[in-house]
């Protein structure tokens, strides 16, 4: 007799090969090609230890104007690395008392996005692969560390890790990513006109966009 309800799924053996992935075993789309080069820190990049500041006040990741945003603060590190922190708020829950996975992915995405500032390149996320290693309670300070691994033309290969509480805390999330360099027109051609108009009227925003544009 066939009973209605949830089908029984016999679980197949689970491969553990991806559990502790590093740059040497990245999936194909996230593996730098043979012609990739090491990243070069731009001479005008913020000094190690300097806060990067928000790239846009209304950014959900780093903007000050988003009440329920992450308010993530990123700081330049040595070489082409950054660190960042954000405190998981009640508005960021998925399960009771725990951070939503999408919010944690946002924190990784924002940290990796900020990292491109050290190259003085505007880039957007093409691919972001995230491992969720341990649950992150509300109230946690998530401490993120990110680095660019390699650059191939417009493609920027990077990775990040998020730890609970501080730089020595247990790993909660990891990510590998591919960012693609774009021109300012990526935003001006595609963004909703009212926000683009407001951004164009804001001298701070213009200055930030120009800083990217003069990239030699
Ligand atoms: C006054 C106004 C001023 C405004 C100025 C603002 C300044 C703001 C400053 C900083 C902003 C940073 C914001 C940070 C926020 C955090 C980061 C995010 O969340 S970003 C949002 C999420 N991401 C997207 O919305 C991308 C959507 N996707 C696209 O627009 C396109 O797909 C794009 C640009 C990524 C690529 O399109 P193509 O036409 O330009 O280039 P193709 O030829 O398709 O790709 C180039 C290469 O990349 C590979 N590629 C592209 N996507 C890939 C993927 N998903 N996986 C693997 N490879 C991929 C391709 O295979 C190709 O490789 P081969 O050159 O042939 O070797």
Domains of the chain: 38-182 (3.10.129.10)
What are the strands, taking DSSP E only, across 1-140? 73-76, 81-87, 123-132
Determine the Cα–Cα distance for residues 120 and 170; give it in Å rounded to an integer: 31
- Choose one of 53, 126, 153 to mutate for the ligand 1 pocket test, by most ligand atoms within 8 angstroms of C-beta: 126
Q: What is the pLDDT of residues 154-165, one digit of tens each?
A: 999 999 999 999
Ligand 1 lining (C-beta closer than 6 Å) = 29, 55, 61, 109-110, 113, 122, 124-127, 153-155, 178, 180, 182, 184, 187-188, 199-200, 205-206, 209
Q: Which residues contact 86 (CB under 8 A, 6 or more apart)?
A: 70, 71, 72, 73, 107, 141, 142, 144
Output the residue whose Cα is nearest ligand 1's atom 29: 126
Query: Looking at the predicted structure, is the pLDDT value of residue 178 above 80?
Result: yes
Query: Could you give the ipTM of this predicted complex?
Result: 0.97
Q: What is the pLDDT of residues 186-213, one digit of tens each?
A: 999 999 999 999 999 988 887 777 666 5
Least Cα distance to 25 among 174, 125, 133 occurs for: 174
Q: Residue 57 C-alpha to ligand 1 middle, in angstroms?
A: 21
How far from each other are the two terminal CA atoms of the chain, in whole angstroms?
72
Report in angstroms the alpha-carbon separations of 1 from 4, 6, 54: 10, 14, 61
Q: Residue 181 C-alpha to ligand 1 middle, in angstroms?
A: 6
Token pair 């992915």 in the structure block, residue: 105
Provide mean pLDDT across the span 52-75. Answer: 96
């Amino acid at each position: 007799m066939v009973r209605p309800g949830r089908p029984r799924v016999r679980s197949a053996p689970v491969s553990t090969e991806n559990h502790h992935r590093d740059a040497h075993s990245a999936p194909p789309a996230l593996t730098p090609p043979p012609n990739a080069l090491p990243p070069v820190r731009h001479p005008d990049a913020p000094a190690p230890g300097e806060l990067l500041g928000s790239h846009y006040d209304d950014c959900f990741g780093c903007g000050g104007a988003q009440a329920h945003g992450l308010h993530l603060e990123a700081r330049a590190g040595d070489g082409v690395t950054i660190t960042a922190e954000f405190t998981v708020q009640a508005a960021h829950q998925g399960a009771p008392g725990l951070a939503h996975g999408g919010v944690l992915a946002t924190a990784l995405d924002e940290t990796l996005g900020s990292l491109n500032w050290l190259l003085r390149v505007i880039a957007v996320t093409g691919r972001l692969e995230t491992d969720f290693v341990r649950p992150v309670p509300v109230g946690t300070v998530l401490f993120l560390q990110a680095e660019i691994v390699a650059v191939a033309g417009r493609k920027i290969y990077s990775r990040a890790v998020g730890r609970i509480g501080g730089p020595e805390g247990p790993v909660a999330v990891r990510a590998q990513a591919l960012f693609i360099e774009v021109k300012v027109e990526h935003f001006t051609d595609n963004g909703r006109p009212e926000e683009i108009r407001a951004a164009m009227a804001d001298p701070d925003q213009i200055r930030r966009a120009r800083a990217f544009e003069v990239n030699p």
